[in-house]
Structure 1
């Protein structure tokens, strides 16, 4: 079975690459991920990593009900849309209490993590929604699951999903907290997640340019705020990426009336920000 899957992986990805089209390559890789890892296995992968984050990396979650309710309220319309693009995901939103780290990431199984440092760095709800929507796009596109397979191999990830390889789970958790290099995505995956993010943000009636303004803000901040590098290290941005997102929003007529700076401000105050 392992040999069959390896051959299928090589042939399918090669077919995608031979077209020279990023979107066709993504489609090919998704087909591979669908064969290699089931939704149930992704759920177990995400759970194993979550347990390691809590036990070995000692991450601390926000306990304030008002902040948790706030973040979940922002996430709910995003995840409702994501469920239409990929059924079977049991989403879980986690808020990590670390005001010095500007970061967010997603792991297989619909586990979304956002740091309080990101909430403090954002100026508007539209920016927070844009980041959450982008991370949801990584789950919908199965990018995190593919990144794990590419980094560790299908056999190790299958064992991890069965709970038989705690060492790999610990390694993944350490990389996520340390900078997320393991889940750094390729340009085509970032583009796809950007597009999902813009659609989900507009579908939530928020300004879809929120992700763009957040990118621009982080670029300006990175020289003075080391913690900003956490999200930029796994989501490198440049003028071409921003231009593509601007074009995608315009071509698809995406818009939203909500910005929400006034609603984010009291949350930032509760977190100790200005």
Structure 2
């Protein structure tokens, strides 16, 4: 397996030296390696195990209001249809966690997406929510979770976990995602790719693609004032360079869209507050 991985990395890198930008080359190398080591089926198994751990050990509480859940899933569905054009066969599962003090969202292998009600309350409009969901979908499309897990826990540990032979690693990951640890740390290249994909997906369905940019700016301004804000900032640091890159990317790619959906989100925020 190791020889196969090295061969794939060597071939991908040699091809990348003559085409594309440096960021895309590195992203493709990592994505190819993750795909070789962990199959789509194993990613789905990992995601399912993490979900079970979150529910049984971490005791996360899902939103019971069907209107709120349906709203988030409807917003996500349009974004995920775009994501499936870049990575087919992902069976997305969107979950809404009831915690108004936690401004957070995360994705796990296999297309499991989670958003906290605190993030719904922090967003000013639907375009910002769509931007965050597009960003998290981008992590799945790029196989970033699998890459980060291999770097954090080691290739063998991740493979064993996918086969159901490493419950301890799954428990550690679930605990970190639930907010009791550091969480998965994505590389700078992974975050850039997820930003770009999120902007593309939101623009493609008519949302203002600047939603993620404005959401970053708002959270950065609140840092230190609202403890829950730090959760998403800790794994998605909105540096000025990163925000500037995304703004430039939107302009250069001619990404358009004007739908903000502020009124639609406002109605849902009222239900969440109740």
TM category (shorter chain) comes to over 0.9
**Aligned counterpart, 2:63:** 62
Separation of aligned partners in 1, 2:130 and 2:160: 34
TM-score calculated relative to the size of structure 1: 0.94
Change (3 A) 1:17 1:233: farther
**Aligned counterpart, 2:267:** 266
**Aligned counterpart, 1:97:** 98
Q: Does structure 2 conserve the Cα–Cα contact (< 8 Å) formed by 1:15 and 1:28?
A: no
Change (3 A) 1:43 1:227: same
Separation of aligned partners in 1, 2:57 and 2:70: 27
**Aligned counterpart, 1:4:** 3
TM-score calculated relative to the size of structure 2: 0.94
Q: Does structure 2 conserve the Cα–Cα contact (< 8 Å) formed by 1:108 and 1:142?
A: yes
Alignment of 1:212-223 (within 5 A): 212-223=213-224
- Listed as ranges, the gaps of 5+ residues in structure 1 are none
**Aligned counterpart, 1:51:** 52
| Cα displacement string for residues 159-206 of structure 1 (whole angstroms, at most 9, x for unaligned residues) | 111112111100000111226634221111111000000000101210
Q: Does structure 2 conserve the Cα–Cα contact (< 8 Å) formed by 1:180 and 1:233?
A: no
Q: Does structure 1 conserve the Cα–Cα contact (< 8 Å) formed by 2:176 and 2:182?
A: yes
**Aligned counterpart, 2:124:** 123
Bigger drift between 6-15 and 240-249 goes to 6-15
**Aligned counterpart, 1:188:** 189
Partner of 2:273: helix, strand, or coil? coil
| Cα displacement string for residues 141-168 of structure 1 (whole angstroms, at most 9, x for unaligned residues) | 0001111111111211111111121111
Partner of 1:199: helix, strand, or coil? helix
Q: Does structure 2 conserve the Cα–Cα contact (< 8 Å) formed by 1:148 and 1:182?
A: no
Separation of aligned partners in 1, 2:227 and 2:244: 26
Q: CA deviation at 1:4?
A: 2.2
**Aligned counterpart, 2:143:** 142
Q: CA deviation at 1:207?
A: 0.4
Separation of aligned partners in 1, 2:36 and 2:107: 21
| Cα displacement string for residues 29-77 of structure 1 (whole angstroms, at most 9, x for unaligned residues) | 1111111110000000101111111111100111111001100110011
Separation of aligned partners in 2, 1:31 and 1:124: 36
Separation of aligned partners in 2, 1:204 and 1:18: 34
| Cα displacement string for residues 66-106 of structure 1 (whole angstroms, at most 9, x for unaligned residues) | 00110011001101011110011110000000000000000
Change (3 A) 1:28 1:10: closer
Q: How large is the RMSD of aligned CA atoms in angstroms?
A: 1.9
Q: Does structure 2 conserve the Cα–Cα contact (< 8 Å) formed by 1:179 and 1:230?
A: no
Number of residues of Structure 1 aligned to a counterpart in Structure 2: 272
Separation of aligned partners in 2, 1:263 and 1:212: 20
Q: Does structure 2 conserve the Cα–Cα contact (< 8 Å) formed by 1:16 and 1:28?
A: no
Partner of 1:183: helix, strand, or coil? coil
